[in-house]
């Protein structure tokens, strides 16, 4: 479900691009749901981790709007409580928000075309938004990889390569160039859908494209 380069045999399979950041609370809701929802519809996910911080700075914000605007921030955490109850997802408000997760994001970029991508993303999000762990820590990222039976030391070394670091910067620049201003954001063909509450709409649009095709 996370093949980045579909073969000729599966080019007709509908795809959804999923742009997310591990520090994003609404990305948490989508990460925990998207793989099962996409599988049920026969939709392939193209995982697109990117850094939301540089995008915010380009838009003139030096922090998340949920931090900069007190009233919005208060609303958002009440909304998160409601949404997590709705979806049956655990929630502990992180003591640090938004939490830096550069290494975790680099690992996600490395794993975007690998079979463990969905499980890894759910594990990192759970550590951040349910367990209140420091997902910016190499120890915590190693713990997440170990829990999935993956070679943590090798994966982290590969994630910290100059080529992978550059790739994440380039992917973040691509996000900005595509007009992304928040996370999660979904693309189906050229249609953009912003926010966890638009995930179902994006998947329905995949269905409509498949029907037309």
Longest dimension (CA), the chain: 51
**Residue 191 and residue 209: Cα distance in Å, rounded?**
11
Report the predicted TM-score, pTM, of the whole model to 2 decimal places.
Answer: 0.90
**Residue 104 and residue 138: Cα distance in Å, rounded?**
8
* β partners of residue 19: 48, 185
**Residue 149 and residue 9: Cα distance in Å, rounded?**
31
Q: Is the pLDDT of residue 74 over 80?
A: yes
Q: Is the pLDDT of residue 11 over 60?
A: no
49, 105 contact by CB (below 8 A): yes
Q: What is the pLDDT of residues 77-113, one digit of tens each?
A: 999 999 999 999 999 999 999 999 999 999 999 999 9
Lowest mean pLDDT among 49-63, 125-139, 140-154, 191-205: 49-63
Q: Cβ-count burial of 132 within 10 angstroms (0-12 exposed, 13-18 middle, 19+ buried)?
A: middle
DSSP E strand stretches across 131-177: none
* Residue 24 annotated to the active site: yes
144, 120 contact by CB (below 8 A): yes
Q: What confidence category does residue 61 fall into, taking pLDDT thresholds of 50, 70 and 90?
A: confident
182, 196 contact by CB (below 8 A): no
**Residue 121 and residue 141: Cα distance in Å, rounded?**
11
For residue 24, which of 161, 156, 194, 145 has the smallest C-alpha distance? 194
Identified catalytic residue from 7, 24, 27, 208: 24
Fold adopted by 15-212: Glutaredoxin (3.40.30)
Q: Which are the contacts of 115, defined by CB distance < 8 A and separation ≥ 6?
A: 2
Q: Is the pLDDT of residue 8 over 80?
A: no
Q: Could you give the 3-state DSSP secondary structure of residue 113? A: coil
The CA–CA distances, whole Å, from 67 to 49, 63, 97 equal: 22, 7, 8
Q: Where are the domains of the chain?
A: 15-212
The CA–CA distances, whole Å, from 37 to 135, 197, 199 equal: 26, 13, 9
């Amino acid at each position: 479900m996370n093949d980045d380069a579909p073969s000729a045999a599966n080019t007709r399979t509908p795809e959804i691009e999923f742009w997310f950041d591990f520090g994003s609370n609404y990305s948490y809701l989508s990460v925990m749901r998207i793989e099962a929802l996409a599988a049920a519809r026969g939709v392939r996910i193209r995982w697109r981790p990117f850094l939301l911080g540089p995008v915010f700075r380009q838009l003139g914000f030096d922090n998340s709007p949920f931090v900069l605007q007190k009233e919005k921030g208060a609303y958002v955490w009440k909304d998160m409580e409601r949404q997590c109850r709705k979806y049956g997802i655990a929630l502990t408000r992180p003591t640090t928000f938004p939490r830096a997760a550069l290494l975790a994001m680099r690992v996600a970029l490395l794993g975007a075309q690998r079979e463990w991508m969905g499980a890894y993303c759910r594990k990192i999000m759970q550590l951040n938004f349910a367990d209140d762990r420091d997902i910016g820590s190499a120890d915590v990222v190693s713990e997440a990889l170990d829990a999935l039976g993956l070679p943590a030391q090798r994966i982290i070394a590969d994630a910290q390569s100059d080529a992978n670091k550059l790739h994440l910067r380039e992917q973040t620049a691509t996000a900005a160039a595509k007009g992304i201003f928040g996370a999660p954001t979904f693309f189906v063909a050229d249609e953009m859908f912003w926010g966890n509450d638009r995930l179902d709409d994006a998947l329905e649009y995949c269905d409509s494209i498949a029907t037309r095709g």
